[in-house]
C-alpha cells in the first residue's frame, strides 16, 4: 500500500533537547511539507520541499530545520531554539507538478510533548 508514514505517533522530550521527527512516503511524490497544528488552529506551514536537495521556509520556520536527501524522506528537527514546540506535527506530500493545485496527502501525525 502506498502512503505516508510518520513515527512515532507520540513523542516526549525534555526542554532544551533537539528532536527529529521522521516522514517517509512511497507515493513517488516530488513535493513534501511539514505543518504544525495547535489545538483549535489550522495548519501552519513550517517547511516544504519541491524536489530533492531543495527546500523552502514556510510561515513558521524559526526553530526548525529539515533535510531532503532522498525523495522518499523529509525529516524535521525541532531544535531547542523553538520556544513552544509542544504541538501536533503533520507531514504531507503531493505529486509536485504544481504545488498550488496539487492534492496533498497527509501522514498520521506525531504529537510532540516537551516537558
Partner 1 sequence: GQSLEQPSEVTAVEGAIVQMNCTYQTSGFYGLSWYQQHDGGAPTFLSYNALDGLEETGRFSSFLSRSDSYGYLLLQELQMKDSASYFCAVSPNRDDKIIFGKGTRLHILP
Shortest Å distance, C-beta 37 to partner 1: 9
Say how many Å lie between the first and final Cα of the chain, rounded.
36
Residues between 53 and 92 with contacts to partner 1, criterion CB under 8 A: 58, 90, 92
Span interacting with partner 1, options 13-21, 22-30, 36-44, 79-87, rule CB under 8 A = 36-44
Span interacting with partner 1, options 20-28, 61-69, 72-80, 107-115, rule CB under 8 A = 107-115
Distance between CA atoms of 20 and 77, rounded to whole angstroms? 4
- As a 3-state breakdown, the chain gives helix, strand, coil percent values, each rounded to 5, of 0, 50, 50
Half-sphere exposure of 59 (CA within 13 A, CB side): 7
Q: Is 95 in the site for partner 1 (CB under 8 A)?
A: no
Among 2, 40, 54, 115, binds partner 1 (CB under 8 A): 40
Amino acid at each position: 500500500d502506498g502512503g505516508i508514514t510518520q513515527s512515532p505517533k507520540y513523542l516526549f522530550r525534555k526542554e532544551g533537547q533537539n528532536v527529529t521527527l521522521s516522514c517517509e512516503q512511497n507515493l513517488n511524490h516530488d513535493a513534501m511539507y511539514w505543518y504544525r497544528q495547535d489545538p483549535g488552529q489550522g495548519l501552519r506551514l513550517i517547511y516544504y520541499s519541491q524536489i530533492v536537495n531543495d527546500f523552502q521556509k514556510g510561515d513558521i520556520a524559526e526553530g526548525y530545520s529539515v533535510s531532503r536527501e532522498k525523495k522518499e524522506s523529509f525529516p524535521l528537527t525541532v531544535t531547542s531554539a523553538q520556544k513552544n514546540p509542544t504541538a501536533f506535527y503533520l507531514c504531507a506530500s503531493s505529486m509536485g507538478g504544481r504545488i498550488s493545485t496539487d492534492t496533498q496527502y497527509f501522514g498520521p501525525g506525531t504529537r510532540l510533548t516537551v516537558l
